[in-house]
Structure 1
Amino acid sequence: MLLNIIHRTTYRYAQPARDSFNEVRLQPIDLEWQKRLSFSLTSNPPAPQHDYLDLYQNRVYLLELAAPHTELAIEMKSRVETTCRPQPVPEAPSGLHQPALAFQLHDFLMDTEFVQLSPELWRCAVDCLPNGLSDVWSNALTLSNWVYESFQYAPGTTHAHTTVNETLTDRRGVCQDFAHVLLGLCRSLKIPARYVSGYFFNDQFDPALGGSEASHAWVEVFLPQQGWYGLDPTHRRPVDDRYVSVAVGRDYQDIRPVSGAYRGASEREMDVHVRIAQEMLYEATV
């Protein structure tokens, strides 16, 4: 599947802002099943750019704008080709108990600022799998399905700093919240799990269902013999060629698409616009 993506973030300030410093994590990852064919990042006003790889190998772009400005627009354009991965085969959880593996995946087994491993979360995970772990992938799929069935998709009821325990209490939220809950369930049972940000292409876009015209978030679980595989609790489905991965981390804090600081204006408005379009493939005929 060929997908063209535009992601535009616009900040508007009540008074002139200056010394603006922004970190941008919007470059799609290059993977065996996801090829980044083109990528560009621009800003208005134009700002010098530098880039580096963070701890989790996400490409981070730094944009610095010293001059006063009342509006800042940051736009990413990318063209990505995706393919479907083969579905994972069954794996016993005993493979997760290797000491070297536990050390390597430590960050994705522990609690974090947004995903605290509380007794309530552990109780939910145990209730979902009363017979314990048997197959890592199918068990993770059961946990993901439970999140979909137990929580209401409700835009505007949570915010960027909502924690997993708050979501567990309110039983509603958006894709970020659903991903945090699934992370907590998996980690409570010692299944390594990481947060993924990116995009979901939905040609039957429905805002009430969390469609394609926005950034999206899901979870990847680690299978010892096969690597990372994605689950989307918001749409109750494994990740396939409709998904474009942009960044991975422990939780939302690690992968914020645009973040930073500035001086001057105390009030600002932020507007985010995302557009995803499928580019059709045509075969030449003789």
Structure 2
Amino acid sequence: MPDSSPAITPPSGMRLRVRHLTRFHYDGPVLDSYNDARLCPVSDPLQRCANFDLRINPNVPMHTHRDFYLNRVDHFELHQPHETLEVEAVSLIETRQDARTSIPEALSLDALNDPKVNENYFDFVVESKFVSQNVAIWREAVDIIGHSVSDIWADSVKLGQHVHSIFSYDPDWTHVHTNAAEALKDRRGVCQDYAHVMLALCRSQGIPARYVSGYFYNGKTGDENEASHAWTEIFLPNYGWKAWDPTHNREADTRYIKLAIGRDYDDAKPVSGRFRGKGKQHMDVIVQIRLAE
């Protein structure tokens, strides 16, 4: 949810501990379930996962692999009847300031054709499951930045700021299956919707933009239940991916923890799966993020 605290200068680095518990319960016994967890924080120049522990109850073996976008996936299956399932991840993460030089200015879309650019960004300029394209999305983007992109980063920020300005944060309005077009029409939703709409606006103009799942540390110190977070990353030729959070209307900093990336939420779900059995599945999620001692 949006951070309502006063603007602060984030520290140059943080050590954060995250507990993420997902609990499923079913209307009746489930015979089989097949599950994927993308809960291990990435290690890259902006953060290091110092420790990660994943516990499954009932206890079953896990198989770890990398998906198409190189996210770590812990796959596990249950083949005995069960009425509940718990997936608990505990992580220790060290975050760092971005040590890169200042963001290059006036990068046009032509820079994407530079032979020195070796990033495979094609998947992040086209439609995806939750980020479709239509005339309304294209028109909204054009109204903000004009008919052509003159500066990839500056124009992306304008689009992200626009999403922040027109949206109302409403956790009861949308659901995990809401797509960008629906969210833009209603102009309300949660961080997932903010991110999807920004992605749609950027991609409608040919700007490579991808979805990021993770967490945001808001400074709470009690036992409050927090939530997963989502934001976007923009590809800047010969610079790399740069994060912008339309929910909080700012660049991601050392308070952000990245779990996974993808075209949209469907590629980066923290926990996903399917089951065989009667009745419906119900899910409760507890997320706690604290400063590590």
Same fold judged by TM-score > 0.5?
yes
Task: Work out whether residues 26 and 76 of structure 1, in 8 Å CA contact, stay in contact via their aligned partners in 2.
Answer: yes
How far residue 257 of structure 1 moved from its aligned partner, in angstroms, is: 1.0
Alignment of 1:235-250 (within 5 A): 235-250=248-263
Alignment of 1:110-125 (within 5 A): 110-125=126-141
Residue segments in structure 1 that go unaligned for 5+ positions in a row: 206-210, 281-286
Task: Give the Cα–Cα distance (whole angstroms) in 1 for the partners of residues 118 and 149 of structure 2.
Answer: 17
- SS of the residue corresponding to residue 137 of structure 1 reads helix
Alignment pair present for 1:218 and 2:231:
yes
Task: Give the Cα–Cα distance (whole angstroms) in 1 for the partners of residues 147 and 197 of structure 2.
Answer: 21
How far residue 130 of structure 1 moved from its aligned partner, in angstroms, is: 2.5
Alignment pair present for 1:130 and 2:143:
no
Alignment pair present for 1:89 and 2:114:
no
How far residue 103 of structure 1 moved from its aligned partner, in angstroms, is: 8.4
Deviation string, structure 1 residues 33-73 (Cα, Å, up to 9, x no partner) = 10000001111110110011000000001111111111110
Task: Work out whether residues 96 and 191 of structure 1, in 8 Å CA contact, stay in contact via their aligned partners in 2.
Answer: no
Task: Give the Cα–Cα distance (whole angstroms) in 2 for the partners of residues 141 and 204 of structure 1.
Answer: 28
How far residue 261 of structure 1 moved from its aligned partner, in angstroms, is: 1.2
1:201 maps to 217
Task: Give the Cα–Cα distance (whole angstroms) in 2 for the partners of residues 198 and 34 of structure 1.
Answer: 12
Deviation string, structure 1 residues 126-184 (Cα, Å, up to 9, x no partner) = 11112732221111111110000011110021111101111111110100011000001
TM-score by length of 2: 0.89
In structure 2, the CA distance between the partners of 1:35 and 1:227, relative to structure 1 (3 Å rule), is: same
Task: Work out whether residues 96 and 102 of structure 1, in 8 Å CA contact, stay in contact via their aligned partners in 2.
Answer: no
- SS of the residue corresponding to residue 96 of structure 1 reads helix
How far residue 268 of structure 1 moved from its aligned partner, in angstroms, is: 2.3
Task: Give the Cα–Cα distance (whole angstroms) in 2 for the partners of residues 99 and 120 of structure 1.
Answer: 34
Alignment pair present for 1:257 and 2:273:
no
Aligned partner of 1:137: which letter?
Answer: W
Which piece of structure 1 moves more, 258-267 or 220-229?
258-267
Alignment pair present for 1:51 and 2:51:
no
Task: Work out whether residues 117 and 238 of structure 2, in 8 Å CA contact, stay in contact via their aligned partners in 1.
Answer: no
Task: Work out whether residues 17 and 90 of structure 2, in 8 Å CA contact, stay in contact via their aligned partners in 1.
Answer: yes
Residue correspondences, number:
275
Alignment pair present for 1:190 and 2:203:
no
Task: Give the Cα–Cα distance (whole angstroms) in 1 for the partners of residues 77 and 263 of structure 2.
Answer: 26
Task: Work out whether residues 220 and 290 of structure 2, in 8 Å CA contact, stay in contact via their aligned partners in 1.
Answer: no
How far residue 121 of structure 1 moved from its aligned partner, in angstroms, is: 0.6
Task: Give the Cα–Cα distance (whole angstroms) in 2 for the partners of residues 175 and 103 of structure 1.
Answer: 27
Alignment pair present for 1:177 and 2:190:
no
Task: Give the Cα–Cα distance (whole angstroms) in 2 for the partners of residues 88 and 277 of structure 1.
Answer: 31
Task: Work out whether residues 54 and 60 of structure 1, in 8 Å CA contact, stay in contact via their aligned partners in 2.
Answer: yes
How far residue 88 of structure 1 moved from its aligned partner, in angstroms, is: 2.1
In structure 2, the CA distance between the partners of 1:38 and 1:22, relative to structure 1 (3 Å rule), is: same
Task: Work out whether residues 200 and 212 of structure 1, in 8 Å CA contact, stay in contact via their aligned partners in 2.
Answer: no
2:170 maps to 154
- What is the root-mean-square deviation in Å for CA atoms of aligned residues? 1.9
In structure 2, the CA distance between the partners of 1:84 and 1:148, relative to structure 1 (3 Å rule), is: same
In structure 2, the CA distance between the partners of 1:68 and 1:100, relative to structure 1 (3 Å rule), is: farther
How far residue 271 of structure 1 moved from its aligned partner, in angstroms, is: 0.2
How far residue 104 of structure 1 moved from its aligned partner, in angstroms, is: 2.3
Among the aligned pairs, what percent are the same residue?
A: 44
Divergent runs of 4+, >6 A: none
Deviation string, structure 1 residues 73-111 (Cα, Å, up to 9, x no partner) = 000000000011145232411312448859821100001
Aligned partner of 2:97: which letter?
Answer: C
Aligned partner of 2:34: which letter?
Answer: F
Residue segments in structure 2 that go unaligned for 5+ positions in a row: 1-13
In structure 2, the CA distance between the partners of 1:178 and 1:212, relative to structure 1 (3 Å rule), is: farther
- SS of the residue corresponding to residue 41 of structure 1 reads strand
TM-score by length of 1: 0.91
Task: Give the Cα–Cα distance (whole angstroms) in 2 for the partners of residues 251 and 151 of structure 1.
Answer: 19
